[in-house]
Every structure is written in structure tokens, then in C-alpha cells.
Amino acid sequence: MTSEFMVPTTSPAAEAAPSKGRRVRGIRRALAPIAEARGLPKWVLFIGIGIVLVFVVFAIFAPWISPYKFDQYLTTSGQRFPKSGAPSGSHWFGTNIMSTDVFSHIVYGARTALEVIVIAVVISLFVGVPLGLFSGYYGGPLDRMLVLVMDAMFAFPSLLLAILVAFLLRGKFGFLGASFSGIMAAAISITVIYIPQYFRVIRNSVISVRENPYVEAARVLGAKPRTVIAKYVFGNVVQNVPVIGTLNAADALLTLAGLGFLGYGVQPTEAAEWGYDLQRALGEASGGIWWTSVYPGLAIVLLVTGLTLVGESLNDLINPTLRRRQLLPIDRAEMAGEDEVVAGR
Amino acid sequence: MARSSGSLPRYLLTRLLLVIPMVWILLTVVFILMRVAPGDPVQAALGGRQPQSVINEKRHELGFDKPIIVQYGHYINGVLHGDFGQVTSENRSVGNVITHEGMATLELSVCAMLIALVLGLSIGVIIARFRDTPLDVAGRMFGILTYAAPVFWVGILFQLLFVAKLQWLPSSGQADTLQDLDLAQHAHTNIYLVDAIINGSWSDFTNVLQHLILPSLTLGLLICGVFIRLVRVNVIQTLKDDYIEAARARGISESRVVLRHGFRNALVPVVTVVGLQAALLLSGAVLTETTFSWPGIGRALINYLNQRDYVAVQGIVTVFALIVVGVSLLIDVVTALIDPRVRYS
Amino acid sequence: MKAQWRAGVAVGAVLLLGAAACGGSSSGGGGSKSGGGSSSSSQSIVWGTTDKPVSYDPAGAYDLPSWNVIYNVYQGLLRIDPATEKPVPDAATGCTSNKDFTVWTCTLKPNQKFSNGDPLTSADVKFSFDRTLKINDPSGPSSLLAKVKTTAPDPTTVVFHLASGNSLWPQILATGAGAIVDSKVFPATKKLADNQIVGSGPYMLKTYQPNQIAQFVPNPNYGGDLQLANSGLVIKYYADENSLKLDIQQGKVDVVYPGLSPTALNQLKGQSGVNQVSGPGGAIRYMVFNLKTMPGANDAQKQAIIHAVDYSVDRDSIATNVYQGTVKPLYTMVASGLAGATDVWKTTYGATPDKAKAAAELQKAGVKTPVNLQIWWTPTHYGALSSDEYTEIKRQLEATGLFKVDLQSTEWEQYTANCLADKCPIYQLGWFPDYPDTDDYVGQFFGTSSFLNDHYSNAQIDSLLKDEQGTTDQAKRTADFVKIQQIAVKDAPVIPIWQGQQIAVTHGTINGISDTLTPDYIFRFWLLGKS
């Protein structure tokens, strides 16, 4: 029915449906809000991007950044790491109950988190968006059926659905190799939750766009449905995706942490995972051992916040009703060569 | 409230009829999910203690190897009669779980929702009024952070602070031993807070309240973030409308404008979102109950899942699905009553 | 709308104010008056545990947490004496059998009553055994009763006709499977709800909130000879050990058993007011090699691989590093403390890893190294530390350079379906006894139709088992047990790893706790007293 945040059905820039020659200018106009916006949204966006980039760097360059492997419990000379040892020179964030280094777990955990999120979001996109597109455009009984199913799944508590699916998929991906099977299972269980979201938003978007005169005009002129969708509809609805994508990524990370906390996520022998680390740290927290729970928790908070900031700012920037633009001086000469009028507000 | 003849009842009827296929889909999905999982109660109980031949024999004696379609029919038939099955790992029915643990979760959820509403609405309105000031940033960051911080991590931090360090509040459970026994002996609704009032026992009431604060605060914080952002966006949206402009032009103070006109209309989507948050509440309740050892139905579900008590899991998930559908129906009806535009869609 | 908002704020404020006002007040526990009943709260024991019972109705219970309650609320014909670990009279004065142990006759004490005043007669005994078999609950103990036929020729005599002779029938009568229920209250074909149970034991159930709290008070109609050291017991069920740990520190519970992980126990050491008491446990953990699917081209090679692993495992390291001293290394497949238990694995393979001997074994049989071992374990059934335990085993085996270990795990359900159906070459298993007799170990593991499903069969062991099961001469049985272990250490495809200690944590001093931490795992409420 309603989504959590207001997403625009169209934006004035794309509404003008530029023809081939104006494609480039259309894209530039779509990005214009970012350049034109002043004040809060821009630097919030950059902070968010900054945070996310730090974790992406952690994830990609984990073997070089992390001082030890995530499951390493011995020094090079064969000495065991201390168990739940306090932060020290050789273990910046201390060690946890498995005698592994906490900082290494943070870094490798970023890799796990991003692997799962990227897989989940990509699969959700590739399933949810086309489904929403075709369902919204063609309508009919198939559309109604899909809406019912998607609504049912959307309404269901997401973590519970993820738990059930993760639980059932355990061990089913063994053919992908030991470390990847858990990640795949977690990713699929998260995917299942988010497909309905993409479906709903895209479908609603398509439904409102398809009533527009230029779309109808194209149809009347005899354009095939595929052309209509690809050329006119898709471009308008797809701008919802980045916002939902980043916000879903944030949510997916929380779901992954929740799964890990309850024990249904990635197993410790496969990869480091922040939620699982928190579960193991739970028992020691009241004994004064804070580093095993504070750091993984902070990592989750930071990355989710970063992704959310990016998503929120994108939303602010793309949603014209929320956008505040500076008043720009109107250049009459430029205006003369334009078909549209760009209005400042 | 003016009703045009026939459109509201027609809408309600359509909505009600839609519930049936949605419920049926959910039930079937639940059944399939549970059947995909391996094992049965006999295997669970005797595996590892008796030879497989004995297990197979017993499984046959008890009818656990009947064909799937027979089991499905049995399940649907049971649900239609309000029989959600017997818990296998315990000596009770799923209905008994609902009336005991379910009430505990209800208590927790309602208090959490109250806290979330109070915090969310008040903060959301304030920062919408003072948009783009540092207060706004702080408020939005607060909203984001409370959502980004995993609810179990926040719970641990609260326990560390309020329980271990300050020793103001208890760490777990619904009540202390004596009060627990007293309320168990004189149970009416099984909602401890309500029962304490009915019994007129002040010590029971305060004890239960003490135990209720941390879990409901933790869960409430998780949800208030959504409300803050939603209220803020909607109030800002509404404040752009012409009649607001007119009110300002009439010389009404900004605060009055925001509160009297902006806030009211922003509340409409909040009602819907409260319903959507029901799903988030259930997910959050599972994690909160695990962290605080709150004897609710989320924790029970995880326990049953861990024990592979599929009949119990199936029964509880069925009830969840029905609750979710029921709440969504209720919200739609309320929204239709409030917002006439909905009925015509 | 605005009014609603105002109301919401008001309610919220009231709640918060109320909470703050009460925030500083003292916690419930001790001191304050309890509700009715003849027990005063300062004399009753509060027992906290994370173990959940399956059923208080004996027909539906085969697990330890349920039996812990059943032992105290019901009587059996016999019970186990904690000092001697032998069956002694409970509701019956004694039981005798015929020569081949197929017919057992027990005589009831006269004039016994249930807690609700109903008389206890042989009809109730027959009813109890018949209904357990009739209900045949998946979680119930009917497999322990093995199709016994019960008759009650007169009100004080019960006769059991066993399908096959079993000299250990008295032991089985003393387990939770032999609990006597009130035939007037319990239905014959289905289980009774937990909060309605009626028994004749030293305690009766007074209040019950499922999975949360259960209150037991002394049974006024108890006709047995046990003395109660307390005036009641409350069980608090916890979902996680964190809250339990905090509560024992604050004195909100008196006893915690079992339910604390080694980490938690370590943290509680040295806390003021908190004591730890330990006793020998009967639970063991071991590794099983499936002779069909394990690596090795012939029998000799398979034996060599098993022996090489025997030489490479470091049990002390597991006990110390993984379990932090809460378990003891186990050197035989029998819990230590039971008759005939001898540390044959220690005498044969040594207590510390010996890489040279391991390599020699493999070389002698012509096994190419490194040997690829696929070892299975399960994260759900045997505790969260199974993961650490098998990671440690993998580290130990690979440290010898002779093995490459691939760890696999899956949920218990799938695990038993897989590993007990020849899909796992090497797997983790555990055992806790039904009754404290060595036969409940060696008989289960080394017999030809053992549930281990390791395809092991040794005719000599089979005949020794038959021998010890057919006699009540303890000396003879002990000698048989020793022989069985001596054969098994060289021959059987199992490797014992550790034996659990029973560890109870108390707040303050609880008398009698160590008396009940015995290898029979029976938690006897009546022995616990506060000083």
C-alpha cells in the first residue's frame, strides 16, 4: 500500500521524454539535482559514500589490510593467540573467544557482508524488477496473482521468512565449496524478502507511468510492447531503484546480522560474520569483556548508517518535492534554444 | 464522516474476499517450507539413541510416513477448525503457546509500539518544523542510528549499563520468582501487566513494569526510527501544500501551522505504517526476546526451530501469517474510513 | 487526531514515571511474604536451568530435564540409591525374577496414596505401563519398555512378562519410564497436560507456567521413607545462560544445574557468594568410524587409520582449551565410576599424541599420507562448543602432517538421517545413560545391531555381552566388561574423547548438592537444603 518513504512516480527531468538526440542532455539533467543541491543533502551523501567506501575497501583488500586470517589462532611461531584477550599492540581490537583476532574479523566480516548484500540485491533486482515491469504493464489475472503472492510475502515478518529459508537451505549449496555455501544460503534467504519490495515499487511506478499520454501515443503509433517498455517506461521507473537498492542493502545487512546472531547465518568456519561474532560475545559481555561485542556492533551500525545515508540522500535529491534548489538566474539566450523550460523554485 | 452509498461496504467486501486467497497462499507456503525440511518428530527424538530400524518402525506406527497430500489436507482442516497442532517437543498444543507466550509478546509489542509512537511522532514533528537545522540533522541521525544498531546489540548495551553497572533494572524474564508464581496462580488474560491490575496487586504491577522497561525500550527504539523519518517526510510534504501557504499568509505562527495543519494530515500514512510495522515488530520481538529472555512467542519459535519441532513451527508461523493478514486488513479498513481516496482506487 | 496524540503522550509519560518511581526499589526474591501454602519462601530452593523439559507426563518423556521432575513427583516401583547406584525399594518392597529373567514379580507396599488422596494399587502400575506403550509417543520411553506385558493379579502384586530376558529390568523400573501415575486422572490413550499431573512422590506440582516457572511443594500424602531437606522447590526455566548467570550472581536463584557453558563457569569462578560443586557425569562424547564408508582400501588399512587417529588426538587440549576444564578426557567407552571401567585407550595409545607411532601404523598398512578424512559434527544436538571441539580436532590431526581434515556439519535431523545411514565416513556422537550400569554403554556401542551403525561386529564381544546380561553376579559381569573393553580398544571403530562433569553452581551454600551429582544423573530435590 504505502512504502516507508515517498518515492516519486516520475521526475520532471525524465518526464520530458527526450528523443534520441536529447538522450545525453537528459542524463545530464537527471544528474543535475546532485550538482544543483546545496546544504545538507550533499555532504550527508558524501559522508555516507565515504563510510561505504571504507568498508568496500576492507572487503576487497581484506587479505592485505587484515593483520591475520580470520580463522587464524596461531602466531607465525606457533603460539596460540590469547582467548578473549584485551586490545594490545599485536591485537588492536583484542581477540575473541575462538582465539581469533577481532580486527581481522571486522575486516573479513566486511567481505562477507558485502558478498551477501551484493548477491542478494543483484538477484532481487534481476527477479523483482522485470516481474514488476511486466506485471504492471500487462496487468490481467497473472498480475493480480503476483500481487497477491508478493503482498503476502511482503507482509510477513522479514526476519522470520529469512530464518525459515536460511534454515532450509543449509548445506544445500555444498557444491559451491565450503566457504561459499553459507554465503549463498544467507543471500538467497535475504533475496526472498526483497523481491516483493522491488516488485511493488516498480509495478506501482509502471502503472502510473503507463497512463501517461506519451506512452499511449507510442502505443497508438504501433510500437511493440517491448519497445514501449524499454524506451519509455523503464527509464522512468528505474530511478526508484538506486534508492531502494541502497536502503535494501542496509536492511539486508541487518537481516544477515540477525541470522548470524540466531545461528542461521554463515558458519564461523566458512567466513567471518559480524552477527555471529555478537552471538559468541553475548556471554562474555557481562564479564567485562567489551571488545568482542562493541566492535562488531559498531561495524554493523556504521555500514548500515552509511548505506542509509546514501539512500536517504539519493531519495532527497531525486525526489523533486523534497528537493530544495537554489534559484538560478535564467539565461534567456539558452532558453531560446530549448524546448523545455527549467523552472527554479 | 460522509459515505457515498455503497462504496465503503463494497470496498470492505472486496478487501475481505482478497484475504482468503492471501491466507491460503501463506498457509500453503508455510506447509511446503516445513515439509522441505528433513526429519520428523520420531527421528528427532530417537535419532542417535536407537537403531534406524526401530525409528522407521515407530515412524510408521505413528503415521509420519503418510503421503504429503494427506498431511496437507489434515493441516488445512485443522486450521479451519482452529487447531494449530500439537507441539511435539513439549506437552502442549500450539493454541496453549499462543495463549501464554503469545500474550507475553503482545504485552511487549504494545508497549514497544507506544514508546515508538511517542518518540517517533514527537521527534519527527519537531525536526520537520526545524528542517535543515542542526536539530534536524541530529533528529534524522537519531532515527537512522536507532534503526541501524542491531536490536540485540542495543539490548546487550542496555543490560551492561542498567543491569550490570547501575543495577537499576533486572536483566531478564517477565517478573521475579514470587511475582511470577503469584501471577501464574491468578491468571486471567495472561498479560501480566493487565492481570496485576485485575488482581489489584501493586507489587506485582511494579515488578512486571520493571522487567518490561528495557525490552520494550529496546524494541521501541528500533521502530521509532521509521516513524521519525516517515513523519518528517510527510510533514514536509504536507507543508508544501497550498493551504499551508495560505495559513502562513494569514499570519499564523509557524509552530501552529506545523502542529495544527501539517501534523494532522501527515498522520494518515502513519496509521498504515503502524500496520506495516507489525511485521517488523514480530521480527524485532524475536531478537529482543532472545536477548532479554522474554518468554514470548518469538523466542519460542526459535527454540522450536532449533529443536526441529516442525509441527510447532508450522503452527506458530501459521498464526503469525493470520495475524499479519488480519492486521493488514484492519489497517486497510481504517485507512479506507479515514481517507476516502482509497475507496475509489 | 491531536487528542489521540496527547493521550498517547500522557500514557507514555505515566508509564515512564511509574517505572522511574519504582526503579530504585528492591527486587522480588527472598524476604517478602509469599502467597499461601505451608512453605515459607526462605526455606524453598530456587533452581535455574536452561534445559527445557519435554513432558511432565511420564508417557511422553525420555529426556533428562523431564525425568528430573518425574523422579521427584512420581514414585517408581524401585529407585536408585545415590550412594550405591543400585535399585532399592520405592513404591514396592522388592522385585524378584525367574531364572532366565523373563518374568519379574514386584510387591507393592500397602496403603499408599497419590498426592490427591487416591489410593495407589497395582492397577495403577499396570495402567501406567500399558498407557506408555499404547500412547507410543515419539518423545516417550516406550522403546525402553520393549513390549512388556503387565498384569496385576492382586492389589499389591505386579507381574511383568518381558519379551526377552533382561537382568537389568530393575534398573529400567527405576528410570522415569517406570513412573506410576494415577489411573483416575491420567487418560489411557493420550498425554495429560503438564499442569494437571498427579504422582505419589515426595513432591507435588503446585503452580506451573509452561517453559517459565514450576513450583513444587511437599506431598502431604507421601508414604515413602525419604526425608525432605527443604520445604519446596521452584524451577525457573531460562532461555539463555546470560540471564541465568546474572541471576545466580545476584542470588535470584539458588542453584544452577546444568546449563552454564564453560565460559560462564569460568567467569563465575571467584565471584563472591557463588560456589561451584562438581560430580562425575555419565555423558560421554566420541567419534565413530563407519567401516563401510571410511577411507582405507582394506580392513587392515582402516584399522591403521583408526589407530593413527588414536595416536594423534590430544584429549587434554580439548578439555582445557575448548571446554575449560569442565570435561575430563575419556579413555574408554564407559563412564568412569561405573563397574568395570578401565582406561584401555590410555594404556594402549598413551595420553599424549605420538606422531611417530601414528606414522608407523599408517606405513605398516601401506596407507598413503596425508590421509583425507571427512569428519562430520552437528552444531545443534551436542552443544555450541561442538564447533570449537571439532575445529580443535582438525587442528590436532593436521598438525601431525599425516591427515587432511574436511569438516562437515549439518542440523541434527539431517545429521542422524545422514550419518546413521552410511553417508558420513567419520562422525561425532554422544551418549548419556538410561541407567547407571556399564551394560548401558558397552551393550549399546559394541553389539552387532548397535545404533551407531558403524557396521562393526565382533563375535567374541557379542558372546561376552550375552554372558553379562544373563547374570546378576556383579563380579562376573565386571570381568566381562573389562574383557569387552580390551577387545574393543584394538578392534572397534570408535574413539572416546571426553566425559562430562556435572557442575552445579550455587549461591551461598546448598547442602546435599554433591550427594546428588552422581553418575545416574538423577537430580534429587529432597536432598537440597539451605543452611
Rounded (to 5) percent helix, strand, coil in chain A: 70, 0, 30
Is the model's pLDDT at A324 over the cut of 60? no
B314 band by pLDDT with thresholds 50, 70 and 90: confident
pLDDT tens per residue, range B57-83: 888 877 777 888 888 888 888 888 888
Distance (Å) of CA B261 to CA A4, A324, B230, B335, C8: 22, 22, 17, 19, 19
Provide the pLDDT confidence category of residue A266 given band limits of 50, 70 and 90: confident
Cβ distance of B335 and A305 shorter than 8 Å? no
| Chain B residues close to A1, C-beta within 8 Å | 272, 276, 331-332, 335
Distance from CA of C370 to the nearest CA of A (A): 20
User: Mutate which of B30, B131, B153, B218 to disrupt the A interface (most A C-beta within 10 Å)?
Assistant: B153
Q: Do C245 and A170 touch (CB under 8 A)?
A: no
Cβ C129 vs Cβ C150: under 8 Å: yes
More confident residue, C320 or A99: C320
Interface B-C, measured as beta-carbon pairs within 8 A, has a size of 207
Rounded to the nearest 5 degrees, what angle is found at the Cα of A71, between the Cα atoms of A69 and A75? 65
- Residues whose CB is less than 8 angstroms from the CB of residue A335 and which lie 6 or more positions away in sequence, other chains included: A341
pLDDT number for residue B254: 77
CA distance A24 to chain C (A): 49
pLDDT of A313 strictly over 90: no
Q: Side chain identity at B110, as an amino acid letter?
A: V
Q: Which three cell numbers stand for residue A315?
A: 531519495
pLDDT for residue B345 is more than 70: no
Quickly state the pLDDT bin for B190 (edges 50, 70, 90): confident
Q: Is the dihedral of CA B164, B166, B171, B176 positive or negative?
A: positive
CATH 3.40.50.300 for domain B95-306: no
Residue B216 has pLDDT above 90, yes or no: yes
Round to whole Å and give the CA distance between C217 and C205: 7
Q: Are C277 and C527 in contact (CB under 8 A)?
A: no
What is the reported pLDDT for C2?
A: 46
Strand partners, A128: none
**CB neighbours of residue A254 within 10 Å:** 25
One-letter amino acid at B38 equals: P
Residues of A in CB contact (< 8 Å) with C are 73, 80, 83, 97-98, 167, 170-171, 178, 263, 267-269, 282-287
- Strand C255-256 relative to strand C494-507, pairing: antiparallel
Backbone angles phi, psi at C237, to 5 degrees: -95, 130
pLDDT tens-digit readout, C413-435: 778 878 888 889 999 999 988 88
3-class SS letters over C54-102: CCCCHHHCCCHHHHHHHHHHCCCCEEEECCCCEEEECCEEEEEECCCCC
Nearest CA in chain A to C240: A283
Nearest residue to C60 (alpha-carbon basis) of C131, C122, C121: C131
**Whole-number pLDDT of residue C501:** 86
Cis peptide before C280 (omega within 30 of 0): no
A94 phi/psi in degrees, rounded to 5? 85, -175
What residues in B contact A308, CB-CB < 8 Å?
A: 144, 147-148
Reading the block at residue C225, the C-alpha cell is: 521413607
* Average pLDDT across chain B, whole number: 81
What is the DSSP pairing of strand C494-507 with strand C119-120? unpaired
Backbone angles phi, psi at C530, to 5 degrees: -95, 140
Mean pLDDT of B172-197: 86
The C-alpha cell at A179 is 566457504
| DSSP per-residue string spanning C311-361 | HH--HHHIIIIITTTSEEE--SSS-TTSTT---HHHHHH-SS--HHHHHHH
3-state DSSP assignment of residue C149: strand
pLDDT tier for residue A78 given thresholds of 50, 70 and 90: confident
CB atoms within 10 A of CB C350: 13
Measured from the Cβ of residue C220, the count of other Cβ atoms closer than 10 Å reads 10
Distances (CA, A) of B309 to B86, B90, B100, B312, C54: 10, 9, 18, 6, 11
Considering only CA atoms, which of C128, C119, C88 is closest in space to residue C225? C88
The bridge status of strand C103-108 relative to strand C92-97 is: antiparallel
Whole-number Cα distances in Å, C79 to C162, C258, C518, C526 = 20, 22, 14, 14
Q: What angle do CA B238, B243, B249 make, to 5 degrees?
A: 115
pLDDT at A326 over 60: no
C511 phi, psi to nearest 5 deg: -75, 150
- How many A-C residue pairs are in contact by the CB < 8 A criterion? 37
> Does residue C399 or residue A225 have the better pLDDT?
C399
Q: Where are the alpha helices (DSSP H) in A66-177?
A: 102-138, 140-155, 158-169
pLDDT tens readout for residues B1-26:
444 445 778 877 887 787 788 788 87
Give pLDDT tens digits for C248-306: 888 889 999 876 878 788 878 878 889 988 888 888 999 999 999 999 899 999 999 99
Q: Which residues of A touch C241 (CB under 8 A)?
A: 283
CA–CA gap between residue B337 and residue A144 (Å, rounded): 24
For residue A24 the three cell numbers come to 545525453
Residues 6 or more apart whose Cβ sits within 8 Å of residue C250: C27
Within the 134-163 window of chain A, which residues sit less than 8 Å (CB to CB) from chain B?
A: 148-149, 151-153, 155-160, 163
- Residue C278 has phi, psi (to 5 degrees) of -130, 155
d(CA B76, CA C128): 34
Give the highest mean pLDDT range of A31-45, A218-232, B43-57, C50-64: C50-64
- Whether the CB-CB separation of A295 and A87 falls below 8 Å is answered with no
pLDDT at B273: 75
Q: Cβ contacts (< 8 Å) between C245 and chain A: which residues?
A: 283, 286
Rounded to whole angstroms, how far apart are CA atoms A200 and A193?
12
CB contact under 8 A, C213 and B181: yes
Q: Closest-CA residue in chain A for B151?
A: A258
The pLDDT of residue A35 is above 50? no
Chain center to CA of C137: 19
The residue whose grid cell reads 572416546 is C496
Domain ranges in chain B? Answer: 95-306
Instruction: Locate the chain A residue with the closest alpha carbon to B39.
Output: A168
- The pLDDT assigned to A242 comes to 81
ipTM: 0.79
Considering only CA atoms, which of A218, A5, A155, A161 is closest in space to residue B232? Answer: A5
Give the integer Cα–Cα distance in Å for A121 and A98: 31
Given a cut of 70, the residues of chain C with pLDDT beneath it are: 1-42, 259
pLDDT for res A329: 57
Task: Give me C443's grid cell.
Answer: 551393550
> Residue B318 pLDDT more than 90?
no
Cβ(A263)–Cβ(C240) below 8 Å: no
User: Quick one: closest CA in A to C267, which residue?
Assistant: A287
